Structure 1
Amino acid sequence: MDTFVTTAIVGTGQANEALPETHTAIDTLAAQLPVEQKERSFLLTAGALAIYKQASSLVSSAQTLPEVAAPETMPACLSRNAQLLIGLFQPPYTILLPEALERLRSSGHRIPDEVLPQCLAYGTTNSEHRSQLAPLLGERGRWLSQFKPTWKWASRYLVDEHATILPAEAETLWQEGTLEQRQEILSRLRTQDPAQARTWLEQVWKQEKADVRATLLTCLESGISDADQDFIEQALNDRGESVRLAAARLLLHIPTSPSVQRLLARADSMLDFKKSSLQNKLLITLPKQIDLDWKNDIAIAKLKQDKLSSEYWFHKAIGRISPQHWESRFDVAPATFIDALNPNEMGKALIVDLIKAAYRHHTSNWYQPLLGWYIQHVLSTSLQPIGKAARELFAALAPADAEEILTPLLEDREKSQHPLLLLPAPWSASFSDKYLTMFKTYITTNPNDHYSFWDSTLLFQLAICLDPSKLDFALEIASTELPEDDTHWSRQRRQNQLHSLATLIHIRKRILTEI
């Protein structure tokens, strides 16, 4: 064992009086150290020896330095803007991040080098923001992502200024790129040359794994036509269940295919429309027994045996068929068909099926009557949470039409939070003003009512929904001090929530003026 290590272990008090020899020039220097300061002399000698050995060692092999990052094509944003962005990486401020990132992208600037590690780390744990962050990282950010496995997401995205044009290296990316890049290339090619995109996919089909086949197959939805039918029908027999399901969803957009015709026949046997001078009626007739073939006709994809009821498969069928089928079959306007629904549990379930179908097939002339019935008979009479299907359809509706449908809810305090869940941001100045007026009346009259309204997620959503011209009005309301004589247990909590809302509004104003 090394003499110095041995001495350090047993202690200088147990060792010989003399310092250990190094058999180097250090011994000459060590001899000049004071003997009475044994511990200090020992440490100085050991330190000198360590430096001596390091200075005399040779590197066994030189490491190859990585290639430098490509030259930047975008200027970096101001440092203060970058610091503002970093502040949005912590809740509850994250709700403001998408708007800030979009404004930075629109300005033609990227994130500066000094904050790239924070941005890459945030994108690692918050995948929903990656598609917005990736274009703003610049060449240096994508270069930096190679040095940490968890940052590799940044290099998976195809980033360029022309999001619909095929890059020069399109074929190379299609063959060798990441799955995300291949998806993007195939989607872009699909918009320009649908047949060529299908050919590319056919050429690599057998060599891809099932999950990759399923992902790439969904790219064919854009520009889908009868020409795609044979290839998609073949995919129905794929070994991978995810591929079969993806193929079934695509065939729904080809109404002339045999698979969809069988689906329509099953649905027609269960749903009928009876016209009457008094009240039109929708008649539902569920089969008493169903076999696997019956279910396969609705699922389109081949299924294993299951025990699901005929009612389940009825709703499955209605949710898959374009509402235009009922419009054509019964020769009725959408509103007439929808008004025939019975507002019972079956009717409420059926309206959700029709909403899913309208969104799936983009039948925009059905949007308003469907959502109008949903507001009147579901949201206004039920405490059930708003479903995903309704939120998606509201997002697809023209903003002015969506606001018109939801305006009556502002008169009902119990339903006044629904616009925060249903209306995409930002709202119009008119609707923002109406909502803030309702909100001001609410918190200044009886703020202890309607606890659900004070859900932090909903309340803070207000900061991103409002039209920019109404932020000062909102700030005035959020700065309201609740009555001091209010002894309700939640007063302080609600006061804190208002203060947090005011902070969010202040930050959003900074985003709108500084970025």
Structure 2
Amino acid sequence: MTAAVRADRPVEVPSGLVHSGAGAAQGQAAAAVDRLPWEELLTSALLGTDRRPPTSCEAPGPAGAPAALLDAAASHTVRQRAGLLPAVPEARPESAAPDPRPPLPEAARHRLAHLLAGRAASPGGGRRGTTPDLTELIPQWLAIANRRGFRAPAALLPPLLDAARARTDLRPAALAFAGPRGLWLAGLNPEWKFALRGSASGSLRPDTTDPEVVRRLWEEGLFAERIALLDAVRAQDPPAALALLASTWPTERAEDRLMFLDSLRSGLQDADEPFLEQALSDRSRNVRATAAELLSALPASAFAGRMAARATSCVNPDRTGGAAAIAVEAPHECDPGMQRDGVVAVPPTGRGERSWWLGQLVESTPLDVWEQQFGGRPAQDIVALPVADDWAGELHAAWRRAAVRQRNSSWGRALLGAPSAPPASSPGAASIAERSQLLAILPELERADWTAAFIAAHGLSDAFQLLGVCAVPWSGALGRAVVDALDIARDGGSYPWSFSGVMGLAERCLEPAEAERLEVLTAVPDEQEGASPGAGGYWSEAFQRLVSTLRLRAAMEAELLG
């Protein structure tokens, strides 16, 4: 459709468009269509002028209706655009706080850009091949950069925040590296609001400097905000945090009381005892149990003394024979006093009542009590004593829980047993999961040495959980033990994918200097009789990837040295 503008009539938006070749009547009808509401024009356009002609005013005949409708729509569009008012500009955001840290070396900046780009382009599942996993290198790069105290490049803050949004495990290190400019930028993009949150619970970073703000947030805030506020106040002023919690404690829901109480684990101290003692009388069983667990971690508490008195009446030196041994007489009832102190009266399915009660008493007793009870013997000697009437398993299991709860490395060491001994011959036949918990309370180097000896004796099949609690990077002895065990598994024709978890840990935890020693393992081994078909090729790929990753980590560290 074409239209010509008459020279003797200026173009005016309110009067509509002028139709070429139209008579006076048709022009008047078109002008009438121009005055129709936009909604009616839209309805006619969607349904068609044949089915829904614009009938609310005098309109042209059927032949001219489509053209008039289109001209009217054009007029409306021009009027709407011409009638827009300019938006009121918002206040410009304040500048980001200065970041005094030095900038990254140029090579390190390029490396970070490459890692972040590789994260966005990382492939899905399937065979990994020999290429290092760039996604898994980002946490290590950030850890080194933060130790060196570098400032994040401004241009890489958006992809860095995107990476932290996608992976919660990256957030602490990524936000530390992003610094004040990262927080400033996060305030301008709702997709990065996680950066403005002060805890894993998802609450906004609380302001604890204004008492009125603290009071209002505690009384009116969302639960996650209140948890974060309690954590923040407790970090600065523990008595004030307890007073805040006590101010609304009776009116809180049971599930909220449990979460608030659990937050006291961080920085637990003797001053928390009066509040925890009151919580022992709570109407919620879970709250009572948590209060009892926290009090048992305070050896000087009255609760620990009561539990020790009960436990030592049940577990004593056996004086009936000539050799030193342990006699056990489990409780015959769970009286109201025991229940008030958090002892659960009804055991789980399959557990006897007396053994269930005994275990709860022993795990809540300070471990130093047993050294006094058995004539000053050290933990190593006590756990080696024979236990009468087949109570050894229950007693040692309770001691293991107590060692983990009280973080007592002497008892943890004694209950772990020798790393070369099979689990069935260790004190209480501890599982790998229980051993890893005990291992976690030992000093870092001792953890590594014990795990290395365990791997040398038993291989890697049961070592994954143990490796997970060892400090990173692995010590030389632990790294060599892992590599030697992988070499043995490779030579034995084992399935390489059975060790993929350990391989992944090795890529992140081995010292980069181990790459040279591993080079010889990258060749495809001869396929032995009975070996898994194609296993040699998989092993070769896995070791090539491991070597490439270690060399890439070495390059990353060198670049961050400047």
TM-score (norm 2): 0.68
What does residue range 299-378 of structure 1 map to in structure 2 within 5 Å?
300-301=341-342, 309-331=353-375, 332-340=377-385, 347=392, 350-373=395-418, 376-378=421-423
Task: Tell me if the contact between 1:322 and 1:363 (Cα under 8 Å) persists in the aligned partners.
Answer: no
2:438 to 373, 385, 393: 393
Taking the aligned partners of 1:375 and 1:71, their CA distance within structure 2 comes to: 56
Cα distance in structure 1, aligned partners of 2:305 and 2:275: 18
2:111 is equivalent to residue 80 of structure 1:
yes
Listed as ranges, the gaps of 5+ residues in structure 1 are: 23-41, 160-165
Q: Secondary structure of 2:473's match?
A: coil
Q: Is the 8 A contact 1:290 1:310 kept in 2?
A: yes
Cα separation, partners in 2 of 1:151 and 1:386, compared to 1, 3 Å: farther
Equivalent position to 2:452, from 391, 407, 417: 407
1:90-148 deviation line (CA, Å, top 9, x unaligned): 68655544433322222323544555455445545543443333333433443454567
AA aligned opposite 2:149: G
Paired residues of 1:236 and 1:248 also in contact (CA < 8 A)? yes
Distance between the aligned counterparts of 1:380 and 1:87, measured in 2?
Answer: 48
1:100 aligned to 112, 128, 141, which one?
141
Match of 2:209 in 1: 169
Tell me which moved more, 141-150 or 95-104: 141-150
CA distance in 2, matches of 1:499, 1:344: 55
The equivalences for 1:58-137 within 5 A come to: 58-59=84-85, 62=88, 64=90, 67-68=93-94, 70-73=96-99, 77=104, 78=109, 80-85=111-116, 87=118, 95-124=136-165, 126-137=167-178
Aligned length: 475
Residues of 1 paired with 2:286 and 2:134: CA distance? 37
Q: Find out whether 1:296 has 2:343 as its counterpart.
A: no
Bigger relative contact order (CA 8 A; separation at least 6): 2
Distance in structure 2 (CA, Å) of the matches to 1:453 and 1:368: 33
Q: Please tell me whether the aligned partners of residues 359 and 393 of structure 1 are also in contact (alpha carbons under 8 angstroms).
A: yes
Q: Which has the larger displacement, 329-338 or 210-219? A: 210-219
Q: Hey, what does 1:447 align to over in structure 2? A: 493
Amino acid at match of 1:501: L
Does 1:55 pair with 2:81? yes
- 1:9-48 to structure 2, matched below 5 A, reads 10=48, 16=63, 20-21=67-68
Q: SS state of the match for residue 427, structure 1?
A: coil
Q: RMSD value over aligned CA atoms? A: 4.5
Distance 1:313 1:60, change over 3 A: farther
2:328 aligns with: 284
The DSSP-based 3-state class of the residue aligned with 1:272 is: strand
Provide the residue aligned with 1:482 in structure 2: 525
SS in 1 for 2:327: strand
Name which of 499, 503, 512 aligns with 1:459: 503
Q: Distance in 1 between matches of 2:421 and 2:188?
A: 55
Matched position secondary structure for 1:338: helix
Instruction: Out of 268-277 and 458-467, give the one that drifted further.
Output: 268-277
Residue 307 of structure 2 corresponds to 263
Indicate how the Cα distance of structure 1 residues 344 and 151 shifts in structure 2: closer, same or farther if over 3 A, else same.
farther
CA distance in structure 2 between the partners assigned to 1:56 and 1:315 by the alignment: 82
Deviates more, 1:91-100 or 1:503-512: 91-100
Amino acid at match of 1:169: T
Where 1:455 maps in the other structure, the secondary structure is helix
Could you tell me how far 1:282 is from its partner in structure 2? 3.0
Tell me how far apart the structure 2 counterparts of residues 348 and 424 of structure 1 sit (CA, whole Å).
30
Name the larger-Rg structure.
2
CA distance in 2 between counterparts of 1:345 and 1:46 reads 96
Code of the residue aligned with 2:82 in structure 1: it is: S
Could you say what secondary structure the match of 1:283 adopts? strand
TM-score, length-normalised on structure 1? 0.74
Alpha carbons of 1:305 and 1:282: their partners in 2 closer, same or farther (altered >3 Å)? closer
Give % identity. Answer: 20
